[in-house]
Amino acid sequence: MHRTDRLFDLIQILRDGRLHRAADLAARLEVSVRTIWRDMATLQHSGLPVEGERGVGYMLRAPITLPPVALTEDELEALRLGVMLVARAADPGLARAADSLTAKIAAVTPGWTERPGPDTFVFSSPEAAAAAPHLPVLRRGIRERLVLVMRYVGLSREDTLRRVRPLQIEFWGRVWTLTAWCELREDFRVFRVDRIMDVAPSGERFEPEPGREVEDYLARLAPE
């Protein structure tokens, strides 16, 4: 968690007006007590009405009011549906982020509710659920340009070990796919994420290389 996000979460926790021990805050945010001490000092020095000290606990001595965000009814519905879909996608990291985003939106948006309207439906398929455990590794691989090693079972039921450069993941309503440069085939391949049995970083990074980037793959698909 980035420090800015953690400071926001601390403010959200303290808004209940109760006294919170540093040890409890540290356990909740999965950081050290010393980190909580430093964060609280930062909040106090920034002028926020945070009262307390080490060994006693911390609380807000006055309410904090954030400026409202004005959204139309359709914009609110689009935002609500997007957050709900991500929260139910079974990717643990994104689900936690969706919960955190919901709290932030609710704090600054009048009329926000997590409950959808009667005509709303949000669903996740069995294929999406099977893909979910692999999504954090794939997202990290794309973000940090990590070569991944994965065991993959194709439509022909052939079980192969692949070394790939992950480039892009996409959700198609039922299935997630990974577009990657496959070192075994020496070409681009699109893998169904729910057919990945295991995946982990190889310990190597890959550099940008002409002809092996996602832009090259998309250019290949473009009509002439």
pLDDT digits (tens, 9 = 90+) for 151-192: 999 888 889 999 999 999 888 877 889 999 999 889 999 999
What are the structural domains, with CATH classification, of the chain? 3-60 (1.10.10.10), 66-123 (no CATH), 128-221 (2.30.30)
CA separation for the pair 22, 19 (Å, rounded): 10
pLDDT per position as a tens digit, 34-85: 999 999 888 888 878 888 888 889 988 776 655 555 666 667 767 776 777 7
What are the structure tokens assigned to 82, written together? 């997007």
Residues 116 and 84 sit within 8 Å (Cβ to Cβ):
yes
**Average pLDDT of the segment spanning 94-113:** 72
Residue 188 CB coordination number (10 Å): 21
- The pTM of this model reads 0.54
CA-based nearest residue to 139, from 101, 175, 180: 180
Beta carbons within 10 angstroms of residue 198's beta carbon: 12
If one counts every other C-beta atom within 10 angstroms of the C-beta of residue 179, the result is 19
Closest CA to 36 of 18, 56, 16, 17: 56
Any idea which residue has 């549906």 for tokens? 81
Phi-psi region of 17 (alpha: psi -120 to 50; beta: other; left: phi over 0): left
